[in-house]
Amino acid sequence: MIKQLAQTHPAWTQPQLAALLGAALTAIDTLESANTTPTPLLAAPEPAPPELQFLERMAYRQSLASSIGRLLDALEHIATIEATAVCGAVIDTITDERDSQRKHVIVPRLLPLLGTIGRRHGDHPGLLRMIIPLLHTYIVDSDVASRSAALTAWADIGRAHQLPSSISDLLPALLTDPYLGVIDGVLDTALRLDWSTEDSASLLAYALSVCEHVDIARFPDTVKKAMAAASKHSRGNEALRIHTEQEILRRAADLDGYDLRDALNRDWLPQTATTPAMAQLRLRQVRDPRVNDRLNAHDNLELCALLNCGSGLASLTVEDLQAAALELGPHQVVGAAEYAEVAWRAARPGDAATILNSVLKTTPDEPAFTLHRALLTLIAAAATFDAAAVAGEDMRATALALTHAAQAIGADNDASALADQARTRVTVRSLLTGHELVPAAGAGQGHSDSDPAVALRGRAAHLQSTAATLREQCQQATATAAYGRCFAALCEVAAFLIRLDAAELDADTIEMNALVTAARRRAAVTATELEKRFHGTDPLAGPLIAALRQVQAVADASGVADLLAEWAALPLPLVIARGPRRTPLTSHTVFGNEADTRLVEDQPTVAVVLASVDGRLVTGPQVLRHSTVYELRLDVRTGSWPEWAETLEAELLSHFTPNEAETPTYLWTRPPSADGPDTLSATGTLILRFALPAGSPAPPFSVKLRWRGTRDGKPVTESLDTAGHREIRFRPFDASRDFLTNFPVFDERLLALYENLHRAGYDEDQLQAFCRLFTAICRTGLTMTWNKHYKRGSHVTERKFHDDLYKELQAEPELGGRLQRGTPLALGYLDVRHDGITAELKVERNTPVTRDRARKYMGQPTQYAAADGARLSILCILDMSRKASPVGVPENYLFTLQPALHGLTNPEAPSLVAVIVVNGNLPSPSSWSRRKTPTLPPSAP
């Protein structure tokens, strides 16, 4: 009743929001509690049997689960008028329970509610900005059920709204999550979200792996979902799609019943739909009475799917089809005859006759089964007649037997339609061959005129009218009926050719040319229709297409008789399966320009968005400083405004909360002239307050645009498709990759060093501090090399080197002034320290500094770092030794040293010293021209 009240009167139940949410939480607690034993319904003097106690507990739990579902549905109905209030209450509840023991119980049940509300009411201002950060938080949560529910909710919202590609950034980790609940959630996102080409390839491999390795007997729904995801992500490449569909078919063979039906219910390529494997699975579906309900469903969907298997039907043995038919006979003779149609559809009329005769043998020869036997006899005779025609045998005896079988069917029952089909087939073959297969009473076929041209024209007219009858009898939406309609078109082409023969007898060249042209055109049109409907290897359509192609070579009537005799040998099965009802055109059908107009109106409006940060156009991921105010400008160019639109809104949607990323919203009112393209501009404040691990990609911010207005007195919202800056990526400054020098090759060496340190698992805070300080020292030290105060002849003391370097470091904004020098530490006094990272400064005056000679200094920074609990330290050496050779590029003087640690040969936490050598005491360039400079030996080619 609460659910119904909330559905019919949401405004009345809205004040009870807190009470309804509390009731839902109470019910969840009760359901998940250890003691869920209900109070006995009967006051029995003796305890109930264990079986009854178990049933009572299950019924009680089912009642609680149903109550929870209805209470959550009531909250969903309240969201139709107060979506923000409902989401706020649910989010507050989840936040309050985040650190409680109930978190693992409540969160997985409430997150799907947020997904549903977000999907239905995501255009509500600010609603998705509330929901998306919470879902992202639980996607990376440690609880499996919460991760699964958050992924499914995210995918649910993504069905209707453009979301940031945050899941794409998490995809590498999600694809390695082994828990089944998370696998289900990932497959949901694979099915419902848009993906890049690279992500789509990863998801395809993932879905195929899930399809292959998950226990299909225990988790069929997961495997079916994986099949759907694999099918979706293989559509861009036909060869890949064929392989994927073959894998799906192979795995689907392990399913049955409704699970198999769901797995097969998709659009298949013709190369897959006509395979023997598909035919075998379709036959299983037709034989399954749970799926193919012959009493209540009359559209024969499973049988139609089997008939569409074309060349794959050749793999079905007559024994399998016969066994399937015998399962239904003798009481369901039409159903048994449908299996004969399957064999007939495979161009095997002899097998169709065998199947029907076997059913006929099991049908009692009693008055109650008279009609059953007559119908079976009719269809078997028709199949025998067709088999004789295909084999090129004399058809008169089988045609006579078929005519007698048709006469045995009365006109007052449903079987009379099949009798009419049988008569039509005898008439068609009589007219194609030009021989009367069944003696007719009276005047014969009516073309016995002494003038052969008149007789031919009469025969052609009769064949054309028979073709119309055949087409009328093949109006079912089945593959067999479609073939029958094309055979009727073939008969019309044959009528043109017979008239061509008559025109040649009359020496009417004008009519001959017209009839040849008409026959060729009609044959080409019919062949094209067949090729669209059937695969080229189809057992029925293939020979028919070849016959129609023969018409293009006809120039006169010389070979018409032989051609028509070949056409008479083509199979022409009876249409037994009813198939789905074909929907005729109604008065609501849209034609011509009106259809084009509606199509244009249904297409979403596209707006071009260009974003700029502090006046500079965004051209890639933007690196912004933490807690710094930036101006974000949007230039939006739209087409004509809808008549009802009053405002245009824009917002940036991300998985960060407002406290982590302050992003602006934009609002433009309808301009005076809204008929043409117009550029709207606005600016807003952007502040990033979140931090990312070193090397992490910039998170996405999706630009979402929507019209708002009223139409017929009701509020209307419509989203716009976005081009240009559809998604913008911002990230905070990362010292390990953003704070570098002005030497590109040196920067590459630094980045390679930092990347190795990222992978080595050093503490993130220490690594960031190390990167900041080391890069700043490198940048400052490299400029000292070319500073005139450090050239040859200058007297540089170690104190001056310390002072100059420290002064420059204090001016580095990324260090933020957080520098120390001369601080007592580790039984000594350190040179420079920044956020727990120590740099030791040395001056060498006697010998050139090399990697081997630098080792004598590395113990000091290592001990300072150990006292701070850090494994990383820095050694900066000013080389003031005499220069016997010119100095090289700076990357030659950057290296790392790993000191041996006391008492350890393979330390679990080794230390590392990064060394930068600053070359001083350089002579002027001209001084090298007055002396001989040493050279290296030539390298081997």
- For residue 34, the model assigns a pLDDT of 53
826 vs 517, 711, 782, CA distance in Å? Answer: 104, 76, 29
Ordered structural domains, the chain, with CATH: 394-438+452-569 (no CATH), 606-733 (2.60.40.740), 744-927 (no CATH)
> Could you report the per-residue pLDDT of 644-686, keeping only the tens digit for each?
999 999 999 999 999 999 999 999 999 887 666 788 999 999 9
- 502 CB-side CA count, 13 A: 22
Task: Check whether 69 has a pLDDT greater than 90.
Answer: no
Q: Are the C-beta atoms of residues 226 and 214 closer than 8 Å to each other?
A: yes
> Could you report the per-residue pLDDT of 10-59, keeping only the tens digit for each?
787 888 888 888 888 888 877 777 555 555 555 555 677 777 777 777 87
> 614: alpha, beta or left, given left = phi > 0 and alpha = psi -120 to 50?
left
Please name every residue paired with 895 in a beta bridge, in sequence order, or none if there are none: 915
> Average pLDDT, stretch 61-73?
83
- For residue 445, the model assigns a pLDDT of 45
- CA 558 to the chain's CA centroid: 58
Tell me the two tokens of residue 570.
């083509």
- Model confidence band, residue 697 (pLDDT cutoffs 50, 70, 90): confident
- For residue 597, the model assigns a pLDDT of 41
Report the mean per-residue pLDDT for the chain: 88
Contacts of 285 (CB under 8 A, 6+ apart): 260, 261, 264, 291, 292, 302, 305, 306
Give the whole-angstrom CA distance, residue 272 versus residue 587.
Answer: 38
> Could you report the per-residue pLDDT of 833-844, keeping only the tens digit for each?
999 999 999 999
Task: Check whether 740 has a pLDDT greater than 80.
Answer: no
Give the whole-angstrom CA distance, residue 394 versus residue 397.
Answer: 7
> Could you report the per-residue pLDDT of 248-291, keeping only the tens digit for each?
999 999 999 999 999 999 999 999 999 999 999 999 999 999 99
Task: Check whether 65 has a pLDDT greater than 70.
Answer: yes
E strand or H helix at 829: strand 828-829
E strand or H helix at 282: helix 276-287
Residue 292 φ/ψ, nearest 5 degrees: -95, 85
Of 357, 359, 361, 413, the closest CA to residue 381 belongs to 357
For the chain, give the number of residues: 941
Give the whole-angstrom CA distance, residue 430 versus residue 862.
Answer: 105
- 866 CB-side CA count, 13 A: 16
Task: Check whether 871 has a pLDDT greater than 60.
Answer: yes
Q: What angle do CA 929, 933, 934 make, to 5 degrees?
A: 170
Of 594 and 661, the one with more pLDDT: 661
Task: Check whether 500 has a pLDDT greater than 70.
Answer: yes
Residue 930 is classified by DSSP as G
> Could you report the per-residue pLDDT of 361-375, keeping only the tens digit for each?
999 999 999 999 999
Tell me the two tokens of residue 382.
């028709």
Rg (CA), the chain: 41
- Model confidence band, residue 474 (pLDDT cutoffs 50, 70, 90): very high
Is-cis flag, bond preceding 330, omega within 30? yes
Helix and strand numbers, DSSP H then E, in the chain:
33, 18
The pTM assigned to this predicted structure is 0.79
- For residue 604, the model assigns a pLDDT of 64
Give the whole-angstrom CA distance, residue 741 versus residue 738.
Answer: 10
Give the whole-angstrom CA distance, residue 760 versus residue 793.
Answer: 44
Give the whole-angstrom CA distance, residue 353 versus residue 360.
Answer: 10
Q: Are the C-beta atoms of residues 606 and 721 closer than 8 Å to each other?
A: yes
Tell me the two tokens of residue 791.
């050239």
10 Å Cβ neighbour count for 671?
12
Task: Check whether 586 has a pLDDT greater than 90.
Answer: no
Residue listed under structure tokens 């393209």: 677
Which of 671-685, 748-762, 874-888 has maximum average pLDDT? Answer: 874-888
Q: Are the C-beta atoms of residues 349 and 387 closer than 8 Å to each other?
A: yes
Task: Check whether 689 has a pLDDT greater than 70.
Answer: yes
Task: Give the sign of the dihedral formed by CA 185, CA 189, CA 190, CA 195.
Answer: negative
- 51 CB-side CA count, 13 A: 0
- For residue 587, the model assigns a pLDDT of 40
Of 850 and 298, the one with more pLDDT: 850
Tell me the two tokens of residue 629.
């105010």
